[in-house]
Structures are given as structure tokens and as C-alpha cells.
Amino acid sequence: MFDPADLTEAFGLIYEPNSIFTTQVGVGFHQIFGNEFTAKTDDTKTAEIETFKSEMGIESISKLSLKIEENITYGSFLRLYSGFERLDTWDVRWDNIVTANVNSWLHVNLTFLMVYDVSESFTTQTKEVLEIGISYRLL
């Protein structure tokens, strides 16, 4: 079970100038459900521990999918969100992945993730991953 669980819905406008890049902006609804881990849902100004939080704000999502070479692709996903009550603070999630198919059985992924969410941490969090995969057929 997810604890906490994030759920986001949005409606707005999408701009898709080509098959490589899309961006959308609109009004977003963000709900957080917590059971045992309530740091993102609890309002510290009240005595009761809240296990649900809902807010409405502005959301922007941009996606990029680029073929660098015949066997190398780059993908990027950027999500920006800010609640209407806190427009001076934006949550940022930026995923980047470079995928290389070295040959028919060897694949390499290089991933970079950056997250800034003040409800989790006051500092920017990053993650870098190098994945090497070997694929084969049994039948």
C-alpha cells in the first residue's frame, strides 16, 4: 500500500508543435492520502492528525522525446506545481533518461532525477542511475 499516496488531476491546454515536444498548463487538483506517514498531510497548527490533504493550484507538464542516433534516445519530463495558497513556492520534478541499445542483447540507461518539494525537504534532491541490461530469448 502506498503511504503516503499522491493523486493529481488537471484540466487545461496542451500545446504540441511536433512529435518531439509537448507542454500543457492548467488548473491542477492535488490530493495526498496518508495512513501511518502523515508528514505531508498533517496540519501542524491543529491538535488532530490529518491523514488527507487536498489543494488546488497551477500545474505545468512538459515532455521531450528526442532520437539522438539510430540507437540512442533522450527523454525528459518536467512537472511544475504550485497551490494557489502558496504561489511563491513551486514543486519541481524533472526526469531525464538517455537510452542506448548497444547491440541486440546489451542495453544501457542513464537516468537523472531532480525533485524539489518543500513538504518533503527544503533542499533539492537528486538521483543518478546507470542501468545495464542484458536481454535474451528462451524460445
Is residue 61 within 8 A of residue 24, CB to CB? The reply is: yes
Share of the chain above pLDDT 70, in %: 99
Q: Which of 96, 67, 65, 62 is nearest to 79 (CA)?
A: 62
pLDDT of residue 137: 82
- Residues in a beta bridge with 100: 72, 108
Q: State the average pLDDT over residues 41-70.
A: 88
More confident residue, 48 or 106: 106
pLDDT of residue 62: 98
Is residue 41 within 8 A of residue 34, CB to CB? The reply is: yes
Per-residue pLDDT band at 1 (split at 50, 70, 90): low
Q: State the average pLDDT over residues 103-122.
A: 91
Cis ω before 4 (30° cut-off from 0): yes
Q: Which three cell numbers stand for residue 51?
A: 491523514
CA–CA separation, 100 vs 78, rounded Å? 21
More confident residue, 38 or 71: 71
Residue 64 reports pLDDT greater than 90:
yes
The whole-chain average pLDDT of the chain stands at 90
Per-residue pLDDT band at 7 (split at 50, 70, 90): confident
CB atoms under 10 Å from CB of 93, counted, come to: 16
